[in-house]
Amino acid sequence: MSTATLHRTSLFDRHVQAGAKMVDFGGFEMPLKYAGETIEHLAVRNAVGVFDVSHMGEVFIEGKEALLALQRLVTNDAARIKDGQAMYAGLLHEGGGFVDDVIVYRFSPTRFLVCVNASNQGKDFLWMRAVVAGAGLDCVVRNESDRWSQLAIQGPKAADVVATLCGERIRDIEGYHFAAMPVLDDEDAIVARTGYTGEDGFELYVKNSVAVALWDAVLRTGAVPCGLACRDTLRLEAGMCLYGNDIDEEHSPLQANLGWIVKLDERPPFIGHAALVAEKAAGVPRLLRGLEMIDRGIARSGYEVQDAGGTTIGVVTSGTQAPHLNKAIAMAYVARDHAAIGGEVHVVIRGKPLRARVVKLPFYKRPAATA
Amino acid sequence: MSNVPAELKYTAEHEWVRVEGDLVVVGITDHAQDALGDVVFVELPEVGRALHKGKAFGVVESVKAVSDLYAPIDGDVVEVNAACVAAPEQLNKVPYGAAWMLKVRPKNAADAAGLLDAAGYSALLASIAK
């Protein structure tokens, strides 16, 4: 893809001025790293970092039957969360595979924000609109992705940064909750205690017009600018899936170790419900597992997983040398019969089968707050 | 701009070569380490292995990427830098110094002279940057 066709966020000039290495991600020209992926990764684990995640899409669903629309669209139960609460969910097709993985923010039973992946933005919007129209539901699906910028402020000191900018009341926002409140000159911003790093953190949704001022203000607090490279290693340590790597239209949430975002009972069925019920009854054929290398080597996306006899039993979907844990970790789909936690498998690295341990996800869990 | 020491020879695959008596020392360039990002893993051949010009002799991996290492000349490996394997992050700091990779006895003593000089390699980097 030529750079001429790539989208840019409102912060593009800031990234270039800061000397960031820019890459194509999901159709956007985004910062891969500034000072370096390891430094940035450790800044988020130990203090606080800030990410431009304005490439993420924002789709609003509003109207009398908005709640019914969400119940039709996503695997998690939008009736079970309260106003001001968020939830992680799958947007599935009829076959049970992921159209996308999303975060749903509930303002009220008649107003929801669905945060979607950049690369899936167009597809998701058309899908949601078609489903709502097909069911004849009384609500509007609006793609506002071009109007919103999003900054993720992540790390044990994230609350201090956000409190400096938005006031002490943000400390009362619980995990996976949010508040509609002013941020700088944006009267209708959203401060959410969500993230994709495994740390405490916030995602600030603001209009494009205040993005640069907010970015500058966050950097003045000492937060370290962070790129997509460390976002990927942080989420992998935290055992979180990346759409296009670990989940896609071919894999269901039951396979992806995401049964906890699937509510099959006591709610109206979502699209893909029947497929998941059938998959559960038949037995899930493969499971997403954590792998830790025993032999010296790094498992990477696409590498084959074998049993001790050399039979193919799965494939690696993400893998790296984890900067904080300082060991080679990976996620892989493994045939159910070989997916037992604690078992040993082989990852084929440059033709050599190297030993790895099947481990429970996540690899990293942040220490409980002591304050 | 990448550092390209004048006294070294280079390959188009971003290895450098320094002639030391009848041996040559091999490593990766400043540009290579910068393009890779934070290096976390290096796999090098054993002493005695024969290298064939243009063929892969090892692997260097960063947090994000995997990259083959290509032999700059024909020859035999006479020494492997264990410190580079044990602390691959040194490649980001001193790619022309302590993080050298191999010492090789060339099959033909004249081969190193045929590689790119600093001006040629700098021109190559300039063309990549365009």
* Boundary (domain end) residue, out of A218, A237, A256: A237
Q: Which residues contact A48 (CB under 8 A, 6 or more apart)?
A: A153, A154, A155, A156, A157, A158, A160, A161, A221, A222, A223, A224
Q: Which domain holds residue A26?
A: 3-56+146-237
Asked if residue A78 and residue A16 are part of one domain, the reply reads: no
The fraction of chain B above a pLDDT of 70, given in percent, is 98
The reported pLDDT for the residue numbered A53 is 98
Asked if residue A75 and residue A45 are part of one domain, the reply reads: no
User: What is the rounded average pLDDT of the residues A79-85?
Assistant: 97
Question: Measured between beta carbons, which residues in chain B are less than 8 angstroms from residue A36?
Answer: 37-38
Give how far A232 is from chain B: nearest CA, Å: 9
Question: Measured between beta carbons, which residues in chain A are less than 8 angstroms from residue B91?
Answer: none
Asked if residue A81 and residue A111 are part of one domain, the reply reads: yes
At residue B56, the 3 state secondary structure works out as strand
The reported pLDDT for the residue numbered A370 is 53
The reported pLDDT for the residue numbered A5 is 81
Residue A90 touches partner B, C-beta closer than 8 Å: no
pLDDT at A212 over 50: yes
Residue ranges with strand state E in chain A:
21-25, 28-33, 49-52, 57-62, 85-92, 98-108, 111-116, 140-143, 148-154, 178-183, 186-192, 201-207, 224-226, 286-293, 304-306, 312-322, 327-335, 344-349, 352-359
What is the rounded distance in angstroms from the CA atom of residue B65 to the CA atom of residue B60? 8
**Looking at chain B, which residue has its C-alpha nearest residue A322?**
B63
Q: Rounded to whole angstroms, what are the CA distances from B127 to A14, B121, B124?
A: 26, 10, 5
Asked if residue A162 and residue A124 are part of one domain, the reply reads: no
What is the fold, at CATH topology level, of the domain defined by B13-106?
OB fold (Dihydrolipoamide Acetyltransferase, E2P) (2.40.50)
Q: A306 exposed, middle or buried (CB, 10 Å; 0-12, 13-18, 19+)?
A: middle
Asked if residue A183 and residue A47 are part of one domain, the reply reads: yes
Residues of A numbered 15-34 whose beta carbons fall under 8 angstroms of chain B's beta carbons: which are they? 32-33
pLDDT at A2 over 80: no
Residue A273 counted as domain residue? no
User: What is the rounded average pLDDT of the residues A269-285?
Assistant: 97
The reported pLDDT for the residue numbered A4 is 57
Asked if residue A154 and residue A167 are part of one domain, the reply reads: yes
What is the rounded distance in angstroms from the CA atom of residue A303 to the CA atom of residue B108? 38
Residue B68 touches partner A, C-beta closer than 8 Å: no
Best of B64, B67, B92 to mutate (most A CBs within 10 Å, chain A): B64
Copy the structure tokens of residue A277.
């019920």
Residue A276 counted as domain residue? no
Residue B87 touches partner A, C-beta closer than 8 Å: no
User: What is the rounded average pLDDT of the residues A82-109?
Assistant: 98
Residue A255 counted as domain residue? no
All structural domains of chain B with their residue ranges: 13-106
User: What is the rounded average pLDDT of the residues A154-168?
Assistant: 98
Copy the structure tokens of residue A91.
């947007």
pLDDT at A371 over 60: no
pLDDT at B107 over 70: yes
CA dihedral A310, A315, A321, A323 (to 10 degrees): -140
Give how far A38 is from chain B: nearest CA, Å: 7
Asked if residue A10 and residue A123 are part of one domain, the reply reads: no
Asked if residue A172 and residue A188 are part of one domain, the reply reads: yes
Give how far A367 is from chain B: nearest CA, Å: 24
The reported pLDDT for the residue numbered B106 is 97
Give how far B114 is from chain A: nearest CA, Å: 31
Q: If you ran DSSP here, which 8-state letter would residue A247 be given?
A: B
CATH code for the domain of A99: 3.30.70.1400
pLDDT at A132 over 60: yes
Q: Using CB atoms, which residue from B41, B59, B64 is nearest to A37?
A: B64
* Boundary (domain end) residue, out of A124, A143, A162: A143
H and E: helices and strands count for chain B = 4, 9
The answer to whether A261 and A88 are in contact (CB under 8 A) is yes
The reported pLDDT for the residue numbered B129 is 81
The reported pLDDT for the residue numbered A316 is 98
CB contact under 8 A, B41 and A229: no
As a whole number, the mean pLDDT across chain A is 96
CB contact under 8 A, A36 and B37: yes
The reported pLDDT for the residue numbered A1 is 46
Copy the structure tokens of residue B38.
């934070």
User: What is the rounded average pLDDT of the residues A2-12?
Assistant: 83
Predicted TM-score (pTM) of the model is 0.95
Asked if residue A158 and residue A89 are part of one domain, the reply reads: no
What is the rounded distance in angstroms from the CA atom of residue A178 to the CA atom of residue A96? 29
The reported pLDDT for the residue numbered B10 is 98
Asked if residue A94 and residue A193 are part of one domain, the reply reads: no
ipTM for the predicted complex:
0.90
Closest CA to B10 of B112, B78, B109: B112
How do residues A256-265 score in pLDDT, each as one tens digit?
Answer: 999 999 999 9
What is the rounded distance in angstroms from the CA atom of residue A263 to the CA atom of residue A102? 15
User: What is the rounded average pLDDT of the residues A154-162?
Assistant: 98
The fraction of chain A above a pLDDT of 90, given in percent, is 97
CB contact under 8 A, A300 and B66: yes
Domain count, chain A: 3
Residue B34 touches partner A, C-beta closer than 8 Å: no
CB contact under 8 A, A37 and B41: no
How do residues A213-261 score in pLDDT, each as one tens digit?
Answer: 999 999 999 999 999 999 999 999 999 999 999 999 999 999 999 999 9
Asked if residue A333 and residue A323 are part of one domain, the reply reads: yes
* Boundary (domain end) residue, out of A120, A143, A166: A143
Q: Quick one: pLDDT band at residue B37, thresholds 50, 70, 90?
A: very high
What is the rounded distance in angstroms from the CA atom of residue A362 to the CA atom of residue A54? 26
CATH code for the domain of A162: 3.30.1360.120
The answer to whether B4 and B123 are in contact (CB under 8 A) is no
Copy the structure tokens of residue A335.
């045939």
Question: What's the order of all strands across the beta sheet hosting B39-43?
Answer: B39-43, B56-62, B66-70
Question: Measured between beta carbons, which residues in chain A are less than 8 angstroms from residue B1?
Answer: none
Asked if residue A153 and residue A46 are part of one domain, the reply reads: yes
